[in-house]
Homo-oligomer: A and B are copies of this chain.
Amino acid sequence: MNVALLGFGTVGSSVARILCDLKPEGIRLSHVFNRGVARKRVDWTPSDVIWTEDFEEILRSDADVIVELVGGLEPAGTWVRRTLEAGKSAVTGNKKLIAAQGIELDRLARSQGGHLLYGAAVAGGIPVIPGLRQGLAGDRITRMEGILNGTCNFVLSQMEAGAAFAHVLREAQRLGYAEADPSEDVDGYDARAKLIILSRIALRAGLEVDAVACRSITQVDAVDLGYARDLGCTIRQIAKAELRADGVSAMVGPMLVPLRSPLAWSRGTENMVLVSGEYGGDVVFSGHGAGGHPTAVAVVSDLISLAHGSRPVDLPSRAARISGEFELRHYIRFVVKDSPGIVAEIAGALASERINIDALFQRPGYEKDNLPFVVTVEPCAASALRRALDRIAHAAWLAQPPLDLPMLGE
């Protein structure tokens, strides 16, 4: 099986490294494509590898499988499509492409006799996709929660230790964990693309990317991690999806996670996926979700599967109505200019939506005119809570808009 690599950056060169080291039976690296390929060329690949910056040359060649590691929707999408149209197989780690066009590309692969594998698109070195496809096809998965973005996990776990958001973000950028423009990560779009792919495989639900709401972790303050700790919790960026009678609830954003939950175990840039099946109960996968080598392991594993004639179990998914509603407890952090009657107003707004207050916390040591305190409420629909908070959105005593975060159970 001849393999052409499109893209020889961090992941591409790791894939070549592993292929040269493990020499998996039946797999030969035949082509490397990259813009300005002369600059990229290395001396440790087999001498008969063809280095090119011409995609057409690869398409015409004897390459059986094309590994797309260029990223982004275009030209990567066109290249994958043309690869499959030519009856070749494609392996990709492109979450954006698979989230947006995976169903259509899967169909194209089937119709042309090729295969499309994308184990590297979600949680890099953790075999979540094969685990779900091959290993949990015999269950009905009803719920999924994931820590799917290493950057956010790094930032929030550092904030847990007391650091401020801006400081940790700079540190993450220095370490190469975060991009110069961190929006894809911190605002949840990266995790959302992965959630869409996992929902398709685990819940058999086809979700429109834009229909899943994302909330940014930038709103989370150090004070929230302190209050979370008082509640026996921490805060993580969670990508959550759940089957409902009328569709799927899905959401990405910061949430409170009990310290006893597996989701609180992940450290630094680790990823974790928890799926819950009707028959098998909870299963947890965790490990290194990103980085050149772990992602390359997923790519090479897909190549080995193809070389061994192992076809992915491809269960049909259905387009599903998406809602952002989860019936969960919520944490609401207010920062106020203290004056009498604030709690009464908040309680009144919540009561008007029939939301029950669970507890009220106030840590000592803050100034009266910039006073943070926390209200937790019993399980309620996110939309009801939003309406309740809208009622007090313009209150004169608010020093900043309240932050409401869902609280996950154990």
Contact = CB atoms under 8 A, between A and B. Distances in A.
Interface of A: 14, 18, 21-22, 24, 119, 124-140, 262, 265, 277, 279-288, 293-294, 296-305, 308-315
A18 B133 CA distance: 17
A288 B298 contact: no
Contacts of A130: 127, 130-131, 133-135
Nearest to A308: B313
Contact of A287 (B24, B281, B294): B281
A-B pairs, 4 with minimum CB distance: A127-B135, A138-B300, A125-B280, A130-B134
Contacts of A281: 125, 287-288, 293-294
A277 B300 CA distance: 13
A301 B310 CA distance: 15
Given A130-B133, A135-B301, 17 more contacts: A18-B279, A125-B277, A125-B279, A125-B281, A125-B283, A127-B132, A127-B136, A137-B301, A137-B305, A262-B265, A277-B297, A279-B294, A280-B287, A283-B285, A308-B312, A308-B314, A310-B310
A294 B283 CA distance: 10
Given A119-B135, A131-B131, A286-B262, A280 B294 contact: yes
B138 A22 contact: yes
Contacts of A311: 308-311
14 contacts: A22-B138, A119-B135, A125-B280, A128-B135, A129-B135, A130-B133, A136-B301, A138-B299, A138-B300, A138-B302, A281-B293, A304-B315, A308-B313, A310-B310
A138 B304 contact: yes
Contacts of A282: 287-288
A299 B135 CA distance: 9
A131 B125 contact: no
Given A130-B131, A285-B284, A310-B310, A138 B18 contact: yes
B286 A280 contact: no
Contacts of A285: 131, 283-285
Contacts of A18: 138-139, 279
Given A125-B280, A130-B131, A284-B287, A138 B310 contact: no
Given A280-B287, A284-B285, A311-B310, A298 B14 contact: no
Contacts of A135: 119, 126-131, 298, 301
A33 B135 CA distance: 25
Contact of A265 (B133, B134, B265, B313): B265
Nearest to A293: B279
Contacts of A136: 127, 297, 301
Nearest to A307: B313
A279 B297 contact: yes
Contacts of A300: 137-139
